[in-house]
């Protein structure tokens, strides 16, 4: 029954992320959602994924988001709409987008329900050993691993260039 607990925490925290006006709260709630997902990974017998979910996602990526939110110091959403209207209750194209997302959910669940009454209960053990994961990562997936390292390098250089360009243009 831990599944339902973690699932409820993940869904409620994610809903609150898109319902908050203040991005700082959104980021903190998303960290809570990632913590619940990490618990689900433990239930799925994937402890390595659970740990890097906490370390990389909650620890590094979300801190980067929080850093930018605080750096920009623009906590509240500015729109032409009435400030008192909740972000989830606006009219027009945004409501249409929300309806589209609901239609996507209905469609996905309908497609899943076509598999019949079988819940696909897990049989046998999962791959829990980090040793097996590493062996596969550095042999079968060695090319993808190297390509990822180049991607990270490109992203790093790109982020530095993008964040600096404006300042240099102002000085000239």
Of the residues 5, 85, 136, 142, which one makes contact with other proteins according to CB under 8 A:
136
Of the residues 7, 32, 51, 54, which one makes contact with other proteins according to CB under 8 A:
7
The DSSP string of the chain is: -HHHHHHHHHHHHHHHHHH-SSHHHHHHHHHHHHHHHHHHHHHTT-HHHHHHIIIIIIIIIHHHHHHHHHHHT--S---SS-TTS-GGG--THHHHHHHHHHHHHHHHHHHHHTT-S------S-----HHHHHHHHHHTTHHHHHHHHHHHHHHHHHHHHHHHHHHHHHH-
Residues 17 to 46 in contact with other proteins, rule: CB under 8 A: 17-18, 20, 23, 26-27, 30, 33-34, 37, 40-41, 43-46
Q: What is the nearest approach in angstroms of other proteins to the Cβ of residue 160?
A: 8
x-or-dash pattern for other proteins, window 92-131, by CB under 8 A? --x-xxx-xxx-xx--xx--x--x--xxxxx-xxxx----
Residues 58 to 77 in contact with other proteins, rule: CB under 8 A: 60-61, 64-65, 68-69, 71-72, 74, 77
Q: Which is nearer to other proteins, 84 or 120 (CB)?
A: 120
Q: Which is nearer to other proteins, 119 or 172 (CB)?
A: 119
């Amino acid at each position: 029954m831990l599944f339902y607990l973690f699932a409820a925490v993940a869904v409620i925290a994610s809903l609150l992320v898109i319902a908050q006006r203040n991005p700082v709260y959104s980021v903190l709630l998303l960290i809570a959602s990632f913590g619940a997902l990490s618990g689900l990974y433990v239930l799925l017998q994937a402890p390595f994924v659970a740990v890097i979910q906490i370390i990389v996602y909650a620890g590094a990526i979300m801190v980067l988001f929080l850093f930018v939110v605080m750096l920009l110091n623009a906590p509240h959403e500015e729109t032409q709409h009435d400030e008192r209207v909740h972000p989830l209750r606006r009219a027009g194209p945004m409501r249409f987008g929300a309806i589209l997302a609901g239609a996507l959910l209905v469609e996905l669940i309908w497609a899943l329900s076509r598999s019949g009454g079988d819940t696909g209960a897990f049989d046998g053990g999962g791959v829990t050993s980090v040793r097996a994961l590493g062996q596969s990562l550095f042999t079968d997936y060695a090319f993808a691993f190297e390509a990822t390292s180049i991607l990270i390098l490109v992203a790093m250089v790109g982020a530095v260039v993008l964040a600096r360009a404006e300042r240099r243009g102002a000085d000239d």
